[in-house]
Structure 1
């Protein structure tokens, strides 16, 4: 204790005479003592809270499971702060966000990573319809059912994924792939992927209480044996060659049809041209025949007699100029009449007027 404080108490003791009652401390010391007691109590409470930690903070995407004396409360604790009694109660926090398991060929057995809710497991090795080994790479997305989290953890434990998701996925993939031959798998990839997803969803829904919700299943790769790959490659090459030959045949057929169409067009054009020429000749002949008929109808006996007189007159005029000419009259006296000049036997003239 400081010297000035001792002096203070000595003066108080001396002033009191023979009175044995101890002196009272000053008021500020009494106030400090009360505050110190409260501070000590708060420090002790904080130390107890830090040591025993009788509370838990649950974040979004998580639920808490309150365990009292080893028994799980069926009602999950929602996000927020929750208090419990240390030593008697405990809270298990479980993740209810979407989780992913990747089945990969380059992952070893038991080699998986839970960071970010992603598990990595080896590719699923199955047998096809003929017993040939095939590796399947999958990605499965799922989440724990928040409303059933306490019952699920109580029944399956904290490693519920290994007991629920992994066995179901492997069994479904084996059953589906076993229905196909290895060389059919790449061709029917979409059909197989849809069947795997539907069958996994059915098996998950069959579980009592629906502990897990399936989000999606993606078929990422189908890894075949090398000999099957070689066989598929040969088949693809043969198909491509067949398609090429089919294309060549189709092109040749189209070319032949084109030439045939051109030939038919040319023949049709010639036919039309010939028909047009024939029609022209026929029309001209019909016109000529009609003209001849008109002429024939116009040649009356009197007209012919007139023409004969006119021709005879011309011959008479000609005889006046050439008295040695020989004249041949056609029967009936109609035109033409033929006459020859007797003086020049090398010349012959026809008169047809």
Structure 2
């Protein structure tokens, strides 16, 4: 075989190989384009160019679709937190800034309707507006002080109204909580002054109660001393000089006990009596 014939055979082989490779590449691309994955916490809504949004959403896993004709749109169906700030007025016309933490998820049975009406960013389109609407309506029913003392009740009412409102857009509200509540500077200063006044009033009340108790204690003590003097006087009148003699003996015993502890005192016997003498050298 000549070199020319060998070169022509090699060229034909390379051309056939290139055709096969091209076919395999196109086939691989077609297979890859017809597969899509749905991760955990997600669902896929299929849009068909001829039939529109298909009525069944795809669950988690790998699925097939018709390339070019069908397109898979992945929707997040997990419970998602969102912080929504709002500035509104209370019943007594006090401005308050509220930050509401809302946990939401889409209704699994209405994903096609949500995608058709709102798109993939459904919560961004609807949730801030309806939350602000509900917040303003609920807060306007309470005074500024009630927002502080009835915080749980306010949160529960916001949750009930927001759940009802979100149902119109096929959302499910899992939880609602007020994470931040701040009033204007003037109202905050008024609250501080009120607290100081209440503390002063409690302190004054305590002083009054203390004085009253001390007065009562003094009265009781005076009555006790008066009663004691009366009893002693009566006992002295009835017993004659006997009680006085008893008191004299008790006083003598106390004096003897006191002198007995001193080193400068000496004891000298004198008949039936004990004489005391002071030692000047000590």
TM-score (normalised: structure 1): 0.55
Shift of 1:262: 5.7
1:157 aligns with 2:116: no
Q: Secondary structure at the match of 1:186?
A: helix
Q: Distance in 1 between matches of 2:227 and 2:108?
A: 85
Write out per-residue CA displacement over residues 248-295 of structure 1, whole angstroms, 9 at most, x where no aligned residue: 23333444455556667x479859x78x969x98xxxxxxxxxxxxxx
Residue of 70, 73, 76 corresponding to 1:89 = 70
**Corresponding residue of 2:244:** none
Give matches, 1:129-140, under 5 Å.
129-140=91-102
Q: Distance in 2 between matches of 1:162 and 1:93?
A: 16
- 8 Å CA contact 2:47, 2:54 repeated in 1: yes
Give matches, 1:81-230, under 5 Å.
81-103=62-84, 123-205=85-167, 207=168, 211-230=170-189
**Corresponding residue of 1:41:** 23
Q: Distance in 2 between matches of 1:49 and 1:158?
A: 26
Say which is worse superposed, 69-78 or 34-43, in terms of deviation: 34-43
Instruction: Could you tell me which runs of 5 or more consecutive residues in structure 2 were left unpaired when the two chains were aligned.
Output: 240-282
Q: Distance in 2 between matches of 1:225 and 1:176?
A: 19
Shift of 1:33: 10
If asked which structure has higher relative contact order (CA below 8 Å, sep 6+), I would say 2
- 8 Å CA contact 2:86, 2:99 repeated in 1: yes
Q: Distance in 2 between matches of 1:250 and 1:231?
A: 29
Write out per-residue CA displacement over residues 283-341 of structure 1, whole angstroms, 9 at most, x where no aligned residue: xxxxxxxxxxxxxxxxxxxxxxxxxxxxxxxxxxxxxxxxxxxxxxxxxxxxxxxxxxx
Give matches, 1:248-259, under 5 Å.
248-258=207-217
Q: Distance in 2 between matches of 1:131 and 1:6?
A: 97
**Corresponding residue of 1:244:** 203
TM-score (normalised: structure 2): 0.68
Shift of 1:82: 1.0
Q: Secondary structure at the match of 1:60?
A: coil
Cα separation, partners in 2 of 1:128 and 1:81, compared to 1, 3 Å: same
1:66 aligns with 2:40: no
Q: Distance in 2 between matches of 1:263 and 1:61?
A: 83
Q: Distance in 2 between matches of 1:259 and 1:224?
A: 50
Q: Secondary structure at the match of 2:142?
A: coil
**CA root-mean-square deviation:** 3.8
Q: Secondary structure at the match of 2:148?
A: coil
- 8 Å CA contact 1:183, 1:228 repeated in 2: no
Instruction: Could you tell me which runs of 5 or more consecutive residues in structure 1 were left unpaired when the two chains were aligned.
Output: 10-24, 104-122, 282-353
Q: Distance in 2 between matches of 1:174 and 1:45?
A: 58
Q: Distance in 2 between matches of 1:147 and 1:204?
A: 15
Shift of 1:81: 0.7
Shift of 1:92: 0.8
Shift of 1:142: 0.9
